[in-house]
Structure 1
Amino acid sequence: MRKIIIALVLTAGFGGTAFASDKCTVAMADWQPREALQTKLEGEGWKVRSIKTEDGCYEAYAINAEGKKVEAYFDPQTFQSVDMKIED
């Protein structure tokens, strides 16, 4: 019985860690094209340098409307911001 409990605790611990590393969990079939994200951002005054896929999200390297360099993550289905790092 003790071995079963230990195995369950270890499985839950590792499973949670793997899941936590993904910022977005949208099925690929539900993704919008990255060009649509670029168009949206440029419409908001951003200068997009590149967009790639990272942690299940779109990751954009850009200059935002305030003129700051950003590394921003977006949900690929809704284009909602998930995380953003502003560089100095």
Structure 2
Amino acid sequence: MKTLILTALVLAVAGPAFADDTCNVPTDQWQPREALQKKLESQGWKVRSIKTENGCYEAKALDANGKRLEAVFNPKTLESVGADSDDG
């Protein structure tokens, strides 16, 4: 019974710490915003802004068809970790 309670307590405390580790990268390991902009422009995006949000890069842009996009990127790998689009 003690083991079960201890396990539940550890998961309750540690669980939230793992929930938002997507962009948990020390700033000295971040790539510059210009690198993300260059990557997105090579994919046909017209970048309007790139800002830091919750430890991630958040880019607002238009795709090749003029559709507005918002996407979140890991600042170390520049890989997408979430996106939102607006159809109208």
Same fold at TM > 0.5: yes
Which residue is 2:27 aligned to? 28
Conserved 8 A contact 1:72-1:84? yes
- Aligned-pair CA distance for 1:8: 6.8
Which residue is 2:42 aligned to? 43
Report the number of matched residues.
87
Q: CA RMSD in A?
A: 2.2
| Stretches of structure 1 lacking an aligned partner (at least 5 in a row) | none
Conserved 8 A contact 1:48-1:62? yes
Which residue identity does 1:67 align to in structure 2? G
**Following TM superposition, where does structure 1 have runs of at least 4 consecutive aligned residues deviating by more than 4 angstroms?**
5-8
| Stretches of structure 2 lacking an aligned partner (at least 5 in a row) | none
TM-score between the two structures when normalised by the length of structure 1: 0.76
Taking the aligned partners of 2:17 and 2:86, their CA distance within structure 1 comes to 27
Taking the aligned partners of 1:24 and 1:15, their CA distance within structure 2 comes to 17
- Aligned-pair CA distance for 1:41: 1.0
**SS at 1:70 equivalent:** strand
Which residue is 1:74 aligned to? 73
Conserved 8 A contact 1:22-1:56? no
* Cα distance change, pair 30–17 in 1 and its aligned pair in 2 (3 A): same
Taking the aligned partners of 1:65 and 1:11, their CA distance within structure 2 comes to 47
